[in-house]
Structure 1
Amino acid sequence: MHIANPGRLAGWLAVTLVLAFGLLLAPAVLAQETADRETATAVVGVTPDTWRLVRSGEVDANFRDSRADSNYNLVNASGEGWRQWRNRWVSPFGLIAIGGMALMIAIFYLLVGRKTLDEPRTGRLLLRWSVLTRALHWSVATLFILLALSGLNLLYGKFVFRPLFGDAIWGAMVSASKVAHNYLGPLFGVLLVVLLLKLLRHNLPSREDLTWFKKGGGLTGKGHVEAGFANAGEKVWYWLLATAGVAVILSGFVLDFPNFGQGRDTMQWANLIHALGALGLTAVALGHIYIGTLGTEGSFEGMKSGYVDESWAKEHHSLWYEEVKESAETPPAPAQAPPPEDGTLPQRPT
């Protein structure tokens, strides 16, 4: 095949390629041009000095975020400050507090062991916790554990469960934790306040508390430390719940109900207060749970059945024991099955 003018054909091919390449780049060029035109119209003469002013807040209304009647700058420095506080201080604090408390409990248990009763049980029981108090305690305790687990998952779970299970399962876990935390939180707050009001009269400070602290709750010195219905250690836990716990509740309500007009700065402060208080209470709660279960003989029985043995009351709450010892009672022996009418003894099952 003879080509009359190869140069002209090559020229047409080059023009065709240039036009095709131009058509491919046209959408991106037009988009960039549109974006630049919009930026030039919305923010005229933007310079580095302008953005420094935006960051500092020394600008007029043209440089402010107008969404949802917001008065915040387009560059919100407080948001970055909140992120730094959360990642550099709050999260490490939680790991140190909770992990440190768990380690201390394990070391204490290995070195000291369980605190058993010095005197044998008498079998005579004293009523310590009413049905209503126990119902409130177990409801608050259950909600506390669920909220602690869901909160820890929201704060640290992505570093543990996301690499193990992948994004799909991790996403479902986060969603479930968030829903549970948001809906159970207000219920926990109401029940905790009711429980605190019911136990207030037992947790007022007294002179015996100083002696209890001096003797380390009986860990140092000889003899038992006198205490009323609640000892000084239990009172400390009560007032932590009444202060830090109430702060966690109030900050949680601020976060849970953003429809009452609180601003972004308020939400950021509420988040930090909520996280710090909740992490600190979770760490102390580990000690409370240990003492009330594995650490002290007889303590869990009291919150389970409502009754404690005389020996337990005399050893741990001697002043309260002196007030109520006359009401101690011996539980009835379990009923035995009547013998058969023919007089034969029942055979033991094989």
Structure 2
Amino acid sequence: MTKVPSRAPSGTASWLQRGWRLCLMLVLLVASLGVTQMAVAQADPDREMTTAAPGITADQWRQVRSGETGPNYRDSRHESNYNLINASGETWRILRNRWVSPFGMIAIGGMAALIALFYFIVGRKYLEEPRTGRLLLRWSLLMRALHWTVATLFITLALTGLNLLLGKFVFRSLFGDAVWGWMVSASKVLHNYLGPIFGVLLVIMLISLIKENIPKKHDWVWFKKGGGMIGKGHVDAGFCNGGEKAWYWLLASVGILVVASGFVLDFPNFDQGRDTMQWANIIHAVGALGLTAVSLGHIYIGTLGTEGALEGMTTGYVDETWAKEHHNLWYEEVKDQAISEEEIAARKAGDSGEHSAANSAAKPS
């Protein structure tokens, strides 16, 4: 049986990787500082008010807030129980602009900086033993399709949500009102229509994976040992390790809360009041910003951070060595099912041949 060596770098390649990591860390640190500065600017109420309604004086705002009407401003809604500016609305604006937006962006920028620092200091997690060339099926085609659909929707919703929340302080000044107007309009449509689809698919995915994510005693040991970074030896893990289960239950709790609050915002035709909508907006923003920050760690570990992890979600198969080092308890359950790459290629070729033969037989002579 041919063993494929692990691809851990050495010598000159190692120094080149360290230099590349340093450059990446500096870029991410600069980006996170820029994001933080933008978030602080977002927290400035005077700047926000000037951007939202230029040319309105403090006296005019005071008159409108007190409920006065005049030839240039009035509450045009029929039998409205609110003034144009009311105490609850002002509380919502302060929470959203002074607290939620800036601290959410600081969390995202800080997470990006921490990941860059971790990558620079620790580097990628390579396999300790050579690959065996024998593979185990980890993810079915259906589950991979579901995962990538949910992941794509998550990223799209995160980007459009950030644009709706903070884009006016970046893109409006860069591209002008016309382009900014198109961008925010497109973001709003995408966010509103893709959100419910994401919610439904997220629930389906959570139900499909609940069996593999039930907490076990060894998961606590996994956390105590920092996923294997503290102490010697590998940490026991089943199909999902402690970190993956934590991400699952975060999605099952905060994720569902974000989806539920999103439905409240997406469907105002069920007579929910303004106060309900405002609190739903705060809950939605806090949860979504938190999930976005944590998702950066999930994305890093599943792609750049761990050798072999991405292969499982792209091809469906993982090498025996990867399974033993990262999910040893699961490996013991399925090790008899390992097959070689040649066998997989032969199966695919056979399936392709059968499909071609079936198509040929179906054609009229």
Q: Are the structure 2 counterparts of residues 254 and 301 from structure 1 closer, same or farther at C-alpha, using a change threshold of 3 Å?
A: same
Amino acid of the structure 2 residue aligned with 1:240: L
Q: Does 1:67 align with 2:77?
A: yes
Q: Does 1:203 align with 2:224?
A: no
User: For 1:1-350, what aligned pairs fall within 5 Å after superposition?
Assistant: 67-68=77-78, 70-72=80-82, 75-332=85-342
Q: Are the structure 2 counterparts of residues 286 and 75 from structure 1 closer, same or farther at C-alpha, using a change threshold of 3 Å?
A: closer
Distance in 1 (CA, whole Å) between partners of 2:288 and 2:277 is 16
Tell me how many residue pairs correspond in the alignment: 277
Q: TM-score, normalised on structure 1?
A: 0.76
Distance in 1 (CA, whole Å) between partners of 2:150 and 2:197 is 9
Deviation per CA, 1:37-76, whole angstroms, max 9, x where unpaired?
xxxxxxxxxxx9xx97x79xxxxxxxxx793554335652
Q: Are the structure 2 counterparts of residues 241 and 69 from structure 1 closer, same or farther at C-alpha, using a change threshold of 3 Å?
A: farther
Structure 2, unpaired ranges of 5+: 1-61, 69-74, 347-365
Measured after TM superposition, the shift of residue 163 of structure 1 is: 1.1
Distance in 2 (CA, whole Å) between partners of 1:288 and 1:322 is 25
Distance in 2 (CA, whole Å) between partners of 1:271 and 1:75 is 18
Amino acid of the structure 1 residue aligned with 2:330: W
Q: TM-score, normalised on structure 2?
A: 0.73
Secondary structure at 1:95 match in 2: helix
Distance in 2 (CA, whole Å) between partners of 1:226 and 1:75 is 57
Secondary structure at 1:295 match in 2: coil
Q: Are the structure 2 counterparts of residues 173 and 326 from structure 1 closer, same or farther at C-alpha, using a change threshold of 3 Å?
A: same
Amino acid of the structure 2 residue aligned with 1:88: R
Distance in 2 (CA, whole Å) between partners of 1:174 and 1:297 is 38
Amino acid of the structure 2 residue aligned with 1:165: F
Measured after TM superposition, the shift of residue 162 of structure 1 is: 1.0
Distance in 2 (CA, whole Å) between partners of 1:324 and 1:220 is 28
Deviation per CA, 1:236-259, whole angstroms, max 9, x where unpaired?
000010000000000000001101
Distance in 2 (CA, whole Å) between partners of 1:212 and 1:130 is 26
Amino acid of the structure 2 residue aligned with 1:254: V
Amino acid of the structure 2 residue aligned with 1:216: G
Q: Which runs of 4+ in 1 moved over 2 A?
A: 65-75
Measured after TM superposition, the shift of residue 121 of structure 1 is: 0.2
Deviation per CA, 1:146-200, whole angstroms, max 9, x where unpaired?
1111011111111111111111111110111111101110000000000000000
Amino acid of the structure 2 residue aligned with 1:326: D
Amino acid of the structure 2 residue aligned with 1:78: S
Structure 1, unpaired ranges of 5+: 1-47, 56-64, 336-350
Distance in 2 (CA, whole Å) between partners of 1:66 and 1:235 is 51
Measured after TM superposition, the shift of residue 132 of structure 1 is: 1.0
Deviation per CA, 1:279-321, whole angstroms, max 9, x where unpaired?
0000000000000000000000000011000000000000000
Secondary structure at 2:312 match in 1: helix
Q: Are the structure 2 counterparts of residues 75 and 175 from structure 1 closer, same or farther at C-alpha, using a change threshold of 3 Å?
A: closer
